[in-house]
Structure 1
Amino acid sequence: MKKTLLYFGVLLSNLWGTAQDNYQFTDLINIDSTPVISQGNTGTCWSFSTSSFIESEIIRLTGEYVNISEMYNVRNTYPVKASNYIYRQGKAQFSEGGLAHDVLNSIRDYGLVPAEVYSGLLGGKTKHNHSEMASILSSMLDTYIKNPGKTLDPKWKEAFNSILDVYLGKNITEFYYHNKKYTPQQFAEAYSIQPEDYINITSFSHEPFYSEFILNIPDNFSNGSFFNLPIEELVYTIDHALKEGFTIGIDCDVSEKTFSSKNGIAVVPEKESNNLEALHSIYPEKEITQEYRQQEFENYNTTDDHLMHITGKVEDQKGNNYYKVKNSWGSDEKTTKYGGYIYFSDAYIRLKTISITLHKDGVPRKILKKLNQHKTVEN
C-alpha cells in the first residue's frame, strides 16, 4: 500500500511539475501592427510579410493604419522574374518565391497601393490560390526558352502580362483613397516609405563580416545584397530595433519539427528526444555558435523557407525571452495559436535566421558605422 501511494505521489508530482512548465507568456514589447491574414495557397510569403512590415512602418512614421496590397507587389515582381529567367536561358530561379527586397524594389519602381483598390482576387474569390497561374507562367517561359519557333516573339512580355491580368487583374496607375487621387508612387511618398532607407542583414562566415555581398540562396533571383554581421551583433540589432520601436522582417527556416504554427512556438531543444514535448513545455536549448550556424547552413539543414515579421518580444514564466513573430497563415484557432503569431526562442533566431530587413535608423549606430565603412555592393 505504501509503495502504491508512493508511486501515485511521484506520478502526481511529475504531472504537476510538467503542468507548471507549460508555456505561460507575458508581453515585453508589442509594437503596433496590422491584423494577421492568410497568404492562402500561394508562395508569396515574401510579399505578405514585407507588406506587413511596411504597414508597421507606416504606423511608426505617420500614425496611420493602411492595408497594403500584397498582390500589387506580386503583380509587378513577376515580370522582373520572367525577364531574368528568359535572359539566363532558364538557368535561374523562377517560382512564386522572393525576398523582402523584392517588395522594396517594387515600391521603388512602381509605388504602393492599398488592398482595397488592388486585391488580386477576381470573380468573387475570397482566398488566394496561385497554383494554376504559377504553373501556366512557368510552362509559358519554358516554351519560350525551348524556342520552337527558332526566334523569340517580341510580344512575349505582352503575352506573359496578359496571364497576370487574367489571374490577378490589370495593373493600376491611379486610384482614389479616402477621397483623394493618387498614383502608386504618390501614395508611397504620402505615407513616408522610402525604399533606400531599408537594409538587409545576414550572418554567415563564408564572407567577411561587415562586408556587403550577394547572398546566394535560391529565392534571391534579383541578386539583392546583404550586410554581414556576426550572429551576436545580428541578434543585438534585433533587440535594439525592437526596444526603439522598429519592427523587423525576417527570412528563416521553418522546416524543423520544433517549429509549430499550431502550437505557436519555435525552439531548438538541447536533446532531440525532447522535440515533441518542447512544443508544449520549457526544456533546455542548444547553445548556438557561429560555427554551428554555418555548418547547418552549408549542409542544407537551414534553408531559405519562409518570410515573417518580428513585432515584439515575450517572456515565459522562467524569464526566457522569445521573439513575437507575425505569420501569414491566418489566425484560425484550429491551425494556429496566439492569433497567428509564433514565438521564436533566442536559440531558434540564432540558428534559423537567414536574414533580417529593417529601417537603417533601427540599427545601432556603432554597427551602422562599421557597415558604412565596409560598404562594397550597390543595390
Structure 2
Amino acid sequence: MNKLIFKPLVLASGLLFSSTFGFAQDNLVNSLKNNQSANSTSGFKFTDVINLENTPVKNQGSSGTCWSYSTNSFLESEMIRMGKEPVALSEIFSARNAYVEKGKNYVRMHGAVTLGDGGALHDVINMFRQYGAVPQVNYTGLNYGTKINKFGEMGAITTGILEAVVKNPNKSLTPNWLKAYTAAIDAYLGQVPEKFDYKGKSYTPQTFAKQVVGINPDDYVELSSFNDHPFYSKFTLLVQDNWSFDQVYNVKVNEITDIIDNALKKGYSVAWATDVSEKSFSYKNGVAYIPAKPYEEMTEQEKTTMFSEPKPEMEITQENRQAAFDNYETTDDHGMHIVGIAKDQNGKEYYIVKNSWGVTNDYKGYLYVTKNYVKYKTTAFLLNKGGIPAAVRKNLGI
C-alpha cells in the first residue's frame, strides 16, 4: 500500500502500491482536493450504529506506510477488545523490519520484485511474529531531524544499495551487503533497541509482544474476493506489494460485507486494503461511495455536487468487481481501519473508517464509506478469525 505518498500536510498517505507508481500522487491529491464541497458535512447526517473503541488518529507523513499504520491501529483495538490497556505501537518498527525482509527477498529474486515503502496488511502480523513489537515512544523512526516521516531520501539510497547488490559486481555476493543495507535503514530510522523500559519493567521486542500486546498471530486471517480462483480456497494475492507472496482466503463478494458486519457486531474491528483513487472517494469530505452513473458520463453540475448529499449507487456484482481489478480500475493503494457502522439520514449504512493522514478532514481523520464501495474496491481485509460468521468459517475450514 504505497502507490501514493502524499505531502505531509495534505494527505500523507502510505498506500499499498510501491514507490514505482509515485508519479500518480499529484494527480490523486488534486482530484481529492477538487472533490471538496463548499460545506461538505451539511448534506450528510450520520448516526453511529456501532463505534468500536480505538486509539487516536495518527499521521504517517510522507511515507508509504499506510499498511503499517492501519494494521497497528487494528492491533491496538484488539488490545482494547481483549480488555488490555492499549499501547501506541511503533508503526515504523513494523515497517523497518519489513524493509529488511523485503531487501532479502529482492536480492533472492534478482531484483524481480517490488521495492519502495509499500506493504500489505499481513506484513504487520508477519513482522509481529518474527520480530515482536515496540511502543512508539521507544522507536519513533525519526532519527534524522524531522517531526514526521519523510522517507524519500532513505528510499532512494536503500534502492540504490539493493540494485548494486543485484548487479553482483564481485561475481559472488559478500556477507556484507545485508549489513550495509540494514545500516542505511537504521541511519534514517534508528537502531532497534534490544531492551527498553515500559512502565517500570524491562522488555525485549519479543517479550513485549507476548506479555503486553498479547495477541496470537495465528488468530488472524486475510481475505479477498476474486472469481478467477475457487471460492473458500487460498490463493496468492496478485498485487505489487505482496512482496512476500502471502496467500489469502477467497470469499464471495457479498460475503466481504457479511464478514465485516458480523465482526463489528461482535466487537472485532477490521484492517482494510482498498483503492482510493476513485473520484467518488473524498478524504476532505470524509465520504466514499460508488455512483450509479460513471464519473465520465456526469454533467459538470453532477460532478460538483457529488458530495452534497447521499447519492444512488451502482449495483456491485462478482463480475463487475473482477472486471474493475483486471482492467486496473481497482488498484491496491491504501490501507485503513474499519471501526464501526453508521447510518445516514436515509437509513443507509456506511462503515466508519479510521485513516492515517492526520485529523485535517471534516471528520477529524475518519471517513464514512458505503458498503458498495467496500464490496467493489476492497483488495484485501484482515481480522481475527473469531469475527467471521460460523458458516463462512466452516466453508473456509478454519
After TM superposition, give the deviation of residue 147 of structure 1 in Å: 2.1
* Corresponding residue number in structure 1 for 2:130: 109
Aligned with residue 359 of structure 1, among 384, 393, 397: 384
* Corresponding residue number in structure 1 for 2:331: 303
| Secondary structure in structure 1 of the residue aligned to 2:128 | helix
Partner AA of 1:306 in structure 2:
H
Q: Distance in 1 between matches of 2:303 and 2:70?
A: 27
Q: Distance in 2 between matches of 1:243 and 1:331?
A: 26
* Corresponding residue number in structure 2 for 1:162: 183
**Distance change (3 Å), C-alpha of 1:51 and 1:42:** same
Q: Kindly indicate whether the alpha-carbon contact (under 8 Å) linking 2:40 and 2:362 is maintained by their aligned counterparts in 1.
A: no
Unaligned runs of 5+ in 2: 1-38
Once the two structures are superposed, the pairs formed by residues 258-337 of structure 1 within 5 Å of their partners are 258-271=280-293, 272=295, 273=298, 274-332=302-360, 336-337=361-362
Q: Deviations over 1:9-48 (max 9, x none)?
A: xxxxxxxxx9998111111110010111110000011101
Q: Percent identity?
A: 44
Aligned with residue 241 of structure 2, among 201, 214, 219: 219
Q: Kindly indicate whether the alpha-carbon contact (under 8 Å) linking 2:132 and 2:209 is maintained by their aligned counterparts in 1.
A: yes
**Distance change (3 Å), C-alpha of 1:55 and 1:20:** closer
TM-score w.r.t. structure 1 length? 0.90
* Corresponding residue number in structure 1 for 2:260: 238
Q: Distance in 1 between matches of 2:315 and 2:387?
A: 27
Q: Distance in 1 between matches of 2:364 and 2:236?
A: 35
Aligned with residue 349 of structure 1, among 374, 378, 398: 374
| Secondary structure in structure 1 of the residue aligned to 2:119 | coil
Structure number, greater radius of gyration:
1
Q: Does 1:340 align with 2:340?
A: no
RMSD: 1.6
Q: Distance in 1 between matches of 2:192 and 2:84?
A: 28
Partner AA of 1:210 in structure 2:
Y
Q: Deviations over 1:212-241 (max 9, x none)?
A: 111111010011110000011121000000
| Secondary structure in structure 2 of the residue aligned to 1:170 | coil
* Corresponding residue number in structure 2 for 1:194: 216
TM-score w.r.t. structure 2 length? 0.86
Q: Kindly indicate whether the alpha-carbon contact (under 8 Å) linking 1:62 and 1:192 is maintained by their aligned counterparts in 2.
A: no
* Corresponding residue number in structure 2 for 1:80: 101
Shift >3 Å, 4+ stretches:
18-21
| Secondary structure in structure 2 of the residue aligned to 1:338 | coil
Aligned residue-pair number: 353
Q: Distance in 2 between matches of 1:229 and 1:19?
A: 35
* Corresponding residue number in structure 2 for 1:93: 114
Unaligned runs of 5+ in 1: 1-17, 374-379
* Corresponding residue number in structure 2 for 1:207: 229
Partner AA of 1:134 in structure 2:
G
* Corresponding residue number in structure 2 for 1:9: none
Partner AA of 1:182 in structure 2:
Y
Q: Deviations over 1:118-151 (max 9, x none)?
A: 1111244311100000111111111111223333
